[in-house]
Amino acid sequence: MFYKLDDFYKALEQHTGATKRILGTLTDENLNQAVAEGHRTAGQIAWHMVTTIPEMMSGTQLPLSAVDPKTPPPSSADEIRSGYDKVYEELSAAIKKDWTDETLGVVDNMYGEEWPRGLTLGILINHEVHHRGQMTVLLRQAGAKVPGVFGPAKEEWAEHGMETPPW
């Protein structure tokens, strides 16, 4: 939960940067990678992260229109990356314009529960972290080299002077 907008902006910068690195490994060819038939694909998960932002924030009365949350996933990795950039740019600008530190304590009905807006922002980021992890697995299955997010990925260990663990 966030109590200060400055703390949210710092977290937002860190987490959007990490997500952009993961989205950077998406290609039109690996968008359809799924863990198994009938499960979401990498492209569907990526687009879900994009559309959740305006969908969730609508519950806080913060209108975002850069991407329609009901839009089906595009067939282009570039369109997904562009959508992600647009919604986070719009989110950041809207919060800077309309919210204050005090606004983070306003309680909204979110999915049948009462959430302070500072909690909603924390859940928004955690939601993205969750799906970023799913995408990392799917992209590895598709043969993509994934970037490290919270430290180096296995492929980056040597670049950081680290030995590959024996397990």
Q: List pLDDT tens digits, range 71-114.
A: 999 999 999 999 999 999 999 999 999 999 999 999 999 999 99
Pairing mode of beta strands 113-116, 107-110: antiparallel
Which residues, other chains included, contact 151 with Cβ-Cβ below 8 Å and sequence gap of 6+?
none
In words, the CATH class of domain 5-160 is mainly alpha
Average pLDDT over the chain reads 94
Percentage of the chain lying above the pLDDT 70 cut: 100
In the chain, domain spans: 5-160
Question: Nearest-CA neighbor of 53 among 39, 40, 68, 36?
Answer: 68
Q: Going along the chain, which residue ranges are E strands?
A: 107-110, 113-116
Task: Give the C-alpha separation, 51 to 119, whole Å.
Answer: 19
Please tell me whether residue 142 adopts helix, strand or coil conformation: coil
Which residues, other chains included, contact 95 with Cβ-Cβ below 8 Å and sequence gap of 6+?
5, 8, 62
